[in-house]
Amino acid sequence: MKLSYFPGCSLESTAKEYDMSARSVCKALGMELVELEDWVCCGATSAHSTNHTLSITLPAKNIALAQELGSDLAVPCSACYNVLKKTDYTLRNDENMRGKTEQITGFKYSGEINILSLLEAVVTKVGVKSIAKSVKKPLQGLNVVCYYGCLLVRPPEVTQFDNRENPESLDNIINSLGARAIPWAYKTDCCGASLSLTSADIVQKMVGRLMDAAKEAGANAIVTACPLCQSNLEMRRQKGDTGIPAFYFTELIGLALDLPDTGRWFKLHLVDPLPLLNSLSLAR
Amino acid sequence: MNLIDQEGLDFYREIREKSGQPIELCYQCRKCAAGCIANEHADFYPNEIIRLVQLGQKEKVLNCKSIWICSSCETCGARCPNGINTRAIIDALKEKAIAEKLVKGNKVYLFHTQFLNSVLTNGRVHEPMMMAFYKLKSKDLWSDLDFGFNMFRKGKMPLLPSRVKDRRAIKQIFKQSQN
């Protein structure tokens, strides 16, 4: 099974372990990822916050590239996914914007490519049952709160994936790995996102309430599917929060599949997950 | 007696068109405000922003903190019983504030310009450079140096940018997307 792959800017730098684990895990699960050649930045929050036209035309370039390759497009970063999916939705439904975009970018929109978050791709193309069968090392003892963040399931008419208030797709994956996905009420509460650099104090309060809730729920780990969420969860905790490690969901799948390179991913975390994994005899 | 003057009415119509949202349908149920994660840090709740736009209060709403503190989490839009996406309205307000040159000293706006400059230059964001420029220009040099150094040590801050080959196409897109 083949999918086009849009890593996005963060996966080349601050979220390198997400890229490494995503590629490794997809390969192990039989999903071939073909990186879009010469992909461009999706524009993220900065484009849609300052220039509506640019927020459509810039990501449209990537949709054009995906059209050329012909396969559905898997996007690991939630923000990139949301931007690309919104762009696709706009090009599909707004004739005026489609015409303007086609004129600026020079491609003809076909609407044939589906844009999927990597989480959605793993859930719908591989499936939880298949993942469960591939587990070699059940992640027993890992009590995980699943932090979906804002952009995987909202706006609901655009993403059309999972439940907007209480999504369960990631919880199902985590449970299939032998870990325990703990119910909690903060699955889709914003971490503060790109305010991290400009308004660190605000993000610290937002992350603080998430970490407090995770602790109250009895979690020893938090799992996410977004580079910005993961880095906020690691960097913007309250001072002195010895806290729980923040994983990318692909890292936990890789751990359960007993892939050889998991150690390299965990070394890149700012909050070391090895003490926890060692205590549960889960590290290699 | 008019509730709003012509300038206010023009402003309301412009934001309604720019955002594409049915602002007139808001009946202040406050479901958006109840879910807004930025409430305690903002000066207006999402429903208040909509009310200000409805009443043509251009100066008040274009100069508020809320529109820049909004993290675009899409909670308000997902919950509105009338299908109003407040995030889209706030984006339109930000764009208008920029056009009216009301962004002097605004750190969030500065961040967005550095981000987009990096995209214009390389086709992708070179995170280390983008953050360095932002810190220099915002004169906030010392915070997060420990994280930055840690990430650099771990190889998560590449010194060289990853550059797109077809940068000419990027420049074209930027140029033609200007208002």
The verdict on B74 and B134 lying in the same domain is: no
Q: What is the DSSP string of A21-47?
A: HHHHHHHHTT-EEEEPTT-----HHHH
Residue B54 φ then ψ, to 5°: -55, -35
Contact B48, B70 (CB under 8 A): no
| Residue owning tokens 């490494």 | A20
∠ CA A40-A43-A45 to the nearest 5 degrees? Answer: 155
Query: Same structural domain for residues A215 and A133?
Result: yes
Least CB–CB distance from A14: residue in B110, B127, B162: B127
Q: With an 8 Å Cβ cutoff, is B172 touching chain A?
A: yes
Residue ranges making up the domain that contains B167:
107-176
Chain B residues 89-128 with a CB less than 8 Å from chain A: 91-92, 94-95, 98, 107-113, 115-116, 118-119, 123-128
Residue A284 maps to a domain: no
Measured CA to CA, the distance from residue A262 to residue A283 in angstroms comes to 8
Q: Which ranges of chain A does DSSP label H, i.e. alpha helix?
A: 16-28, 44-50, 52-69, 78-93, 95-105, 118-121, 128-134, 156-159, 169-176, 195-198, 200-216, 227-235, 249-256, 262-266, 274-279
The last residue of a domain, from among A118, A143, A177: A118
The pLDDT score that the predictor gives to residue A266 is 97
- The overall average pLDDT reported for chain A is 96
Residues A184 and A215: beta-carbon distance below 8 Å: no
Which pLDDT does position B152 carry in this prediction? Answer: 87
Domain total in chain B: 2
Judged by CB atoms closer than 8 Å, whether chains meet at B94 and A270 is answered as no
Main-chain dihedrals φ then ψ at residue B36, nearest 5 degrees? -70, 120
* Residues present in chain A in total: 284
**Of A77, A98, A118, which one is at a domain's C-terminal end?**
A118
Task: Assess contact for B12 and B53: CB atoms under 8 A.
Answer: yes
State mean pLDDT over A142-163. Answer: 97
Please say whether the beta carbons of A25 and A259 come within 8 A.
Answer: yes
Q: Is B39 on the interface with A (CB under 8 A)?
A: no
What residue has token string 């309205």? B89
Q: Are residues A15 and A42 in the same domain?
A: yes
A40–B95: do the CB atoms touch at under 8 Å? no
Q: Is A74 domain-assigned?
A: yes
CB contact under 8 A, B144 and A235: yes
Q: Are residues B91 and B113 in the same domain?
A: no
Residue finishing a domain among A68, A89, A118: A118
pLDDT interval class at A199 (50, 70, 90): very high
- Nearest CA-CA distance, residue B29 and chain A, Å: 19
Position A38 scores a pLDDT of 96
Give the minimum alpha-carbon distance from B48 to chain A in angstroms, rounded to a whole number.
20
> Could you report the per-residue pLDDT of B13-60, keeping only the tens digit for each?
999 999 999 999 999 999 999 999 999 999 999 999 999 999 999 999
Averaged pLDDT for residues A248-270: 97
Which pLDDT does position B143 carry in this prediction? 85
Within-domain flag for B126:
yes
Same domain? A134 vs A265: yes
ipTM of the complex: 0.94
Residues 6+ apart with CB under 8 A from A24: A250, A254, A259, A261
The answer on A145 and A273 residing in a single domain is yes
Return the pLDDT at B147: 85
- Indicate if the pLDDT at residue B179 is higher than 80: no
Q: Does the residue B165 lie in any domain? A: yes
Residue A161 shares a structural domain with residue A230: yes
Helix crossing, B107-122 with B167-176: angle to 10°?
Answer: 140
Write the CB contacts of A234 (distance below 8 Å, at least 6 apart in sequence): A246, A269, A270, A271
Query: A13-27, A86-100, A226-240 — which is least confidently predicted?
Result: A226-240
State whether A88 and A149 are in the same domain: no
User: Which CATH number does the domain housing residue A256 bear?
Assistant: 3.40.50.11810
Q: Which domain holds residue A100?
A: 2-118
In this structure, the answer to whether residues A139 and A269 fall within a common structural domain is: yes
Q: How many domains does chain A have?
A: 2
CA B179 vs. chain centroid, Å, equals 16
Are B53 and B111 members of one domain? no
Q: For residue B4, what pLDDT is reported?
A: 86
Which phi and psi (to 5°) does residue A270 adopt? -85, -30
Final residue in a domain of this structure, among B64, B99, B134: B99
Residues B162, B139: one domain?
Answer: yes
Specify the pLDDT at position A242.
66
Do residues B73 and B141 both lie within one domain?
Answer: no
B48 and B83 inside one domain: yes
CB B45 within 8 A of CB B36: yes
Q: Is A22 on the interface with B (CB under 8 A)?
A: no
Interior/surface letters B111-147, b for 16+ CB within 10 angstroms, e for the rest: bbbbbbbbbebbbbbbbbbbbebbbeebeeeeebeeb
Classify residue A68: in a domain, yes or no: yes
Question: Taking a contact as any Cβ pair under 8 Å apart, which residues of chain B between 4 and 23 contact chain A?
Answer: 18
Of B99, B129, B156, the residue that ends a domain is B99
- Preceding peptide of A155 cis, ω within 30°: yes
If pLDDT is split at 50, 70 and 90, which confidence band does B110 have?
very high
Q: Does A255 touch chain B (CB under 8 A)?
A: no
Say yes or no: A107 and A188 in one domain: no
What is the phi/psi pair of residue A115, to 5°? -100, 125
- Please check whether residues A105 and A183 belong to one and the same domain: no
| B63/B20 same-domain check | yes
Give B-chain residues touching A235 at CB under 8 angstroms. 144, 147
B51 belongs to a structural domain: yes
Residue A248: helix, strand or coil by DSSP? strand
Size of interface A-B (CB pairs under 8 A): 164
Task: Establish if B1 belongs to a structural domain.
Answer: no
Boundary of a domain, candidates B99, B124, B139: B99
The answer to whether position B69 is within a domain reads yes
B117-168 residue pLDDT tens: 999 999 999 988 898 889 999 988 888 888 888 888 899 989 889 899 999 9
Q: Nearest CA to B149 among A279, A187, A81, A270?
A: A270
The answer on B95 and B118 residing in a single domain is no
A114 to chain B, any CB pair closer than 8 A? The answer is no
* B46 part of contact set with chain A, CB < 8 Å: no
Candidates A10, A17, A33; CA nearest to A259 is A17
Q: Does A229 touch chain B (CB under 8 A)?
A: no
Q: List chain B residues with CB under 8 Å of A53.
A: 177-179
Which residues, at least 6 apart from A122, have a Cβ–Cβ distance to it below 8 Å? A25, A26, A29, A31, A131, A173, A249, A250, A253
User: For A47-51, what is the mean pLDDT?
Assistant: 97
Tally of CA atoms within 13 A in the half-sphere of A59 that contains its CB: 33
- Average confidence (pLDDT) over A77-98: 97
| Pair A175, A80 in one domain | no
Give yes or no for a contact between B96 and A172, defined as CB atoms under 8 angstroms apart: no
**Per the domain annotation, does B143 fall within a domain?**
yes
